A and B are shown apart, each in its own frame.
Chain A
């Protein structure tokens, strides 16, 4: 659905030249929710803006659907942009217009008939649950409601792709969850392809099918969200996950004769009795140092740090692995 090939973008300023994107290759499949994470300045904002060419790359090509965006003339580019919705961190609503007028805005820009605009606007307001706020102005709404207006507006022209530029970063955790729930629902019900950039790992964990991690203008790690989260390879990924997912107890050296292991359970094994069964069978003693059981994009997982002593530790590791638990020595 979306393909970036060797996309490079440099910014020149008085301070010199800075490479925001350095030969990024990326492919997003139709109907998937794709996350891009990274620390501020990693280039993720520039990356998402190259998809609808708000930022024109200095080198490389951008494809959305069948179109090569980087090869389009101005009129074709505008037509292509109408098929790509976008939502923003600061909502970017028009203050002078009402909620309904904001939602109708892209339809009017496209020159749709008044009657069509009215029915479509009503439909969109219904979908995002803002019918009773139609006549209000954005200043009268809460952050979450403003973002709902933004989402309705982005959907107005029936796009195939939704770009989300830090859309939940200005919202409180509860509202963030609500907005993510809405994005998730739109993805499932409309088959909308969503690309979202964020610095919040929780957002990725909650809604993304796949994720790319960016650092210094490059994609340093990419894969299914659960794989990247549970077995991060790049240092940046590890540190970003560590902030939200601290596995404590790593500081002290383990006493003689104990092994320190990280166990990762996924899917059905998450709620199963694997650990206690294996402990009984092999006679090992297990102390849980830290752990977490949660979901990534709906799939349950558990990850814990344990110290194992006594019994037959090698057999315990082998049996856990047999039962689908990933075991890593720490």
Chain B
């Protein structure tokens, strides 16, 4: 049945995919949250509204989001080499993955923050809170369910991005599926990789939902 399947290869590829996912998701959150907060704070009608900064950030986010990921992978090659010294393997995949996912997540962060009752912001202000305190003590904790739900959506998008990154030699399950499953017509390899990706996505969604349930007190 699974004659063509080299299970140690599958194991390594799965690990590579998980590493790409873990690395890029952490960095996406690391860059996406501050970017989303800045988008929110500089937005219209906010106390800290800054139309110029907002327009600039919006432009960057929109440009990165409108480039199809497969193109971004290739366009980013020189930048990737500059940043991590290689464009190959797990390490080489992370910069384009983050560049593709962070702006997406930033928008989700902005949306989650907008959904926080503005009365809460006002109350914190009335208590003498600084902008930093309003963001870190009120807005982000109140938006936590939305932030986690957004991170789940982003993580799932990243799973499919990592599969695409296989095209430029990133390794991982997508790479395996393309090289063996597609180019060598080894359907069994394709089936195994797809099932593994499916399990990953399902697992991420369940984890995300569980976490949202835990932090949600509405």
Contact = CB atoms under 8 A, between A and B. Distances in A.
B217 interface: yes
Interface in A212-270: none
A92 B119 contact: yes
B137 A139 contact: no
B143 to A, nearest CB: 9
Nearest to B137: A109
B122 A54 contact: yes
A58 interface: no
Given A92-B120, A92-B122, A110 B217 contact: no
A139 B124 contact: no
A145 to B, nearest CB: 15
Interface string B98-113: 0000000000000000
A54 B126 contact: yes
Given A105-B137, A139-B217, A139-B218, A94 B142 contact: yes
B123 interface: yes
Interface in B77-104: none
A108 B127 CA distance: 11
Nearest to A150: B123
Contact of B120 (A94, A108, A139): A94
B46 to A, nearest CB: 14
Contact of A109 (B122, B124, B144): B124
B123 to A, nearest CB: 4
Contacts of B126: 52, 54, 81, 84, 86, 163
Nearest to A101: B141
B128 A106 contact: yes
A297 B106 CA distance: 53
Interface in B129-169: 129-130, 133, 137-138, 141-142, 144
Nearest to A140: B217
A199 interface: no
Contact of A78 (B117, B123, B128, B218): B128
Nearest to A77: B128
A181 B124 CA distance: 26
A94 B137 CA distance: 10
A54 B128 contact: no
A82 interface: yes
What is the interface residue range for chain A against chain B? 20 to 34
Interface string B26-70: 000000000000000000000000000000000000000000000
B127 A90 contact: no
A92 B119 CA distance: 5
Contacts of A106: 127-128
Given A94-B142, A96-B141, A96-B144, A88 B123 contact: yes
B141 to A, nearest CB: 5
A109 B127 contact: yes
B199 interface: no
Interface string A103-114: 001101110000
B75 interface: no
B125 interface: yes
Contacts of B125: 54, 81
B130 A78 contact: yes
A97 B140 CA distance: 12
A164 to B, nearest CB: 12
B198 interface: no
B207 interface: no
Contacts of B191: none
Nearest to B138: A94
B123 A82 contact: no
Contacts of B137: 105, 108-109
Nearest to B134: A109
B217 A109 contact: no
A223 to B, nearest CB: 29
Contacts of A90: 117, 119
A137 interface: yes
Given A80-B128, A95-B142, A163-B126, 17 more contacts: A54-B122, A54-B126, A81-B125, A81-B126, A81-B128, A82-B127, A82-B128, A86-B126, A88-B123, A91-B119, A92-B123, A96-B141, A96-B217, A106-B128, A108-B137, A109-B128, A139-B218
Interface of B: 117, 119-120, 122-130, 133, 137-138, 141-142, 144, 215, 217-218
Nearest 4 CB-CB pairings of A with B: A92-B119, A92-B123, A81-B128, A78-B128
